Amino acid sequence: MAALALVWRPRITSARFALAVCASILMALLGSASASAAIATPFSPPGLPASPFSTWWLPDPAGAQWQYDWSDTFYNPAPGTVENVTVQSASGSSFVLAWQNVPPAGGQVTDAGTVSFQDTDLGIVNTNWASTPPLAGEPILCATTSQCANSLASAYYNVIWGARDPVLPEPLLQGTSWSATGGAQNDVASVNTYLGERYVSVPAFPRPVQAAVIRSDISQAGALGDPYGSGERTTWWVYGVGPVKVVFDHAGGALAPVTTVELQSTSLKPLPPPPDASYLPLKQGMTGLYRLTNSRYLRTPEVERVTVAKVQNASAELTATSVSGPMRVRGAYVLTTRLAEGISNIQGSTSAATLLKFPPLGHDLHFFTPLDLMTYGFNPILPAYPLAGDSWRSGNARDLHVYGVRGSTTIIGVRRVSVPAGRFRALEVRSVLAQRGHPFGSGVRLMWFAPGRGLVKLVFRQRDRSVTQVELIR
């Protein structure tokens, strides 16, 4: 067997993967548009302006108002404390919300504070907070009483506790989970899971409203007030409004306190949330077995396993390895998911040994793995919230340097597709690709992505009159 080895971008090591992740985060925070030219803008409600980063899970228009009631079964029993929340300031993607309690007749304001946020390509991040001291008698949520900046004595403190970066990730898709920290010294940890969309009733609206539900398992150790800072929190987020309800079941057994936050009124209106189907999930440990053929050059099927090997900050390293067939292939790729850029391929390498003779491609590229074919052309592979009719074109300088491909991609819609792994209702994506001087790298590619499974089928009808096909076996 003749050996053929190539590397079209640097091979990924653990250190290189970490650097790639850091680079993708830096570009997200700086608002760098790494997506191809003319990509559809991120999801925004009809009739409302699109933004580089979505703000609609926690909007901050001038003059917006919210009123919350929060109570604790032990330390602040019902009727609890009513807080008025307003937008104190906003600049670019950053904004500050301010609150103060509604005092009884003749009383004084005893509860006031601010909480700062930034909308990023990774989601909503809490950047700062300040307030009056917590209620007398509330557990001390620090290791010492001196200058303790931790508190759960407000509606928004119960929202950001243990999960500041991000408070809520974007895109918010089925299967999303993330670890985060909070507290003044990052001494509060949480594991957060998106449970899906549910209807919830709160006093602010006459009828139940659709909400994204987040469950957070929170832990704090070493505070004087342990175990009050630990427990299970459920938060309901309404698109176009923000958090509308929080239930925090504190640790400590059957008699442990329960904190409840509910939205009483608001100047904002609920909006339909973006679609939450995850058409290309990047969850560590996921694996798929694929069959790869070409009608002229690869008639004996090549079977390869694709695995999500590592995940960090919504960036994932995927590997592709041969299982059977006429090639011996190893490949590694880094895909990243960001709100503005969608799902993009930012790094990869492939090596193979085979006696097969494939037509040449430009830019030292080859079609050895399903991922080679899926990522070929230009980014993104998919937008963050893909919708039928979305389209985008090539034009990004980095993609032209890597692939040398021009063309366009359109999301056709959801279609039924059958492959050896089963029957799926999958998102069909059509790309017209042209690599100058290379008919094997030019043609029409159709891809089908199934929710929770990812790529299930790919058909590339190349201009050299061959057809490459990828199918999920299991």
Domain region containing 210? 65-266
Cβ within 8 Å of residue 218, ≥6 positions away: 161, 162, 163, 188, 189, 190, 229, 230, 231, 232, 233
CA gap 134, 137 in Å, rounded: 8
Instruction: Give domain status of residue 59, yes or no.
Output: no
Helices and strands in the chain: count of H runs, count of E runs: 4, 24
Q: Cis peptide leading into 380, omega within 30 of 0?
A: yes
Cβ within 8 Å of residue 254, ≥6 positions away: none
CA gap 398, 33 in Å, rounded: 11
Cα-based angle 235, 239, 242 (whole degrees, multiple of 5): 50
**Secondary structure (DSSP) of 227-287:** TTT-EEEEEEEETTTEEEEEEEEESSSTT--EEEEEEEEESS---PPPP---SS---TT-E
Q: What does the block give as tokens for 124?
A: 């909503």
Residue 25 has pLDDT above 70, yes or no: no
Q: Which of 266, 301, 322 is the last residue of a domain?
A: 266
425 in the same domain as 371: yes
Tell me if 406 sits within 8 A of 419, measured CB to CB. Answer: no
CA gap 365, 350 in Å, rounded: 9
What pLDDT digit, counting tens, does each position of 261-310 carry? Answer: 999 999 999 999 999 999 999 999 999 999 999 999 999 999 999 999 99
72 in the same domain as 30: no
Q: What H or E segment, with its residue span, contains residue 424?
A: strand 422-435
Instruction: Give domain status of residue 50, yes or no.
Output: no
pLDDT band at 35 (very low <50, low <70, confident <90, very high): very low
Instruction: Give domain status of residue 54, yes or no.
Output: no
Tell me if 439 sits within 8 A of 466, measured CB to CB. Answer: no
Residue 26 has pLDDT above 90, yes or no: no
Instruction: Give domain status of residue 51, yes or no.
Output: no
403 in the same domain as 290: yes
Q: Which of 241, 266, 291 is the last residue of a domain?
A: 266
Q: What is the pLDDT of residue 106?
A: 73
Tell me what the mean pLDDT of segment 111-118 comes to: 96
439 in the same domain as 319: yes
Instruction: Give domain status of residue 198, yes or no.
Output: yes
Cβ within 8 Å of residue 423, ≥6 positions away: 416, 417
14 in the same domain as 126: no
SS3 433: strand
284 in the same domain as 257: no
Residue 14 has pLDDT above 50, yes or no: no
Tell me if 337 sits within 8 A of 323, measured CB to CB. Answer: no
What pLDDT digit, counting tens, does each position of 137-166 carry? Answer: 899 999 999 889 999 999 999 999 999 999
**Secondary structure (DSSP) of 30-88:** HT---SPTTPPPPP--TTS---SS--TTS---TT-EEEEEEEETTTEEEEEEEEEEEEE
What is the overall mean pLDDT for the chain?
90
Cβ within 8 Å of residue 138, ≥6 positions away: 75, 76, 151, 152, 153, 225, 228
CA gap 141, 229 in Å, rounded: 7
Residue 18 has pLDDT above 90, yes or no: no
453 in the same domain as 406: yes
Instruction: Give domain status of residue 105, yes or no.
Output: yes
198 in the same domain as 107: yes
What pLDDT digit, counting tens, does each position of 207-234 carry? Answer: 999 999 999 999 999 999 999 999 999 9
Q: How far is CA 412 from the centre of its chain?
A: 23
357 in the same domain as 228: no
Residue 30 has pLDDT above 70, yes or no: no
Q: What does the block give as tokens for 401?
A: 């340097």
Q: What is the pLDDT of residue 105?
A: 74
CA gap 163, 172 in Å, rounded: 15
Q: What is the pLDDT of residue 48?
A: 55
Q: What does the block give as tokens for 65?
A: 């108002």
The dihedrals phi and psi of 157, each to the nearest 5 degrees, come to -60, -35
Instruction: Give domain status of residue 52, yes or no.
Output: no
Tell me if 427 sits within 8 A of 413, measured CB to CB. Answer: yes
Q: What percent of the chain has pLDDT over 90?
A: 84
Q: Which of 217, 243, 266 is the last residue of a domain?
A: 266
Instruction: Give domain status of residue 60, yes or no.
Output: no
Q: How far is CA 275 from the centre of its chain?
A: 13
Tell me if 448 sits within 8 A of 455, measured CB to CB. Answer: yes
Query: Tokens 């608001």 identify what position?
Result: 266
293 in the same domain as 255: no
pLDDT band at 12 (very low <50, low <70, confident <90, very high): very low
Count of domains for the chain: 2
Residue 167: give its domain's CATH number.
2.40.360
261 in the same domain as 303: no
Cα-based angle 231, 233, 238 (whole degrees, multiple of 5): 175
What pLDDT digit, counting tens, does each position of 39-49 carry? Answer: 444 566 665 55
Tell me if 112 sits within 8 A of 101, measured CB to CB. Answer: yes
285 in the same domain as 248: no
**Residue 294 CB neighbours (<10 A):** 19
CA gap 393, 400 in Å, rounded: 12
Query: Tokens 């809490």 identify what position?
Result: 126
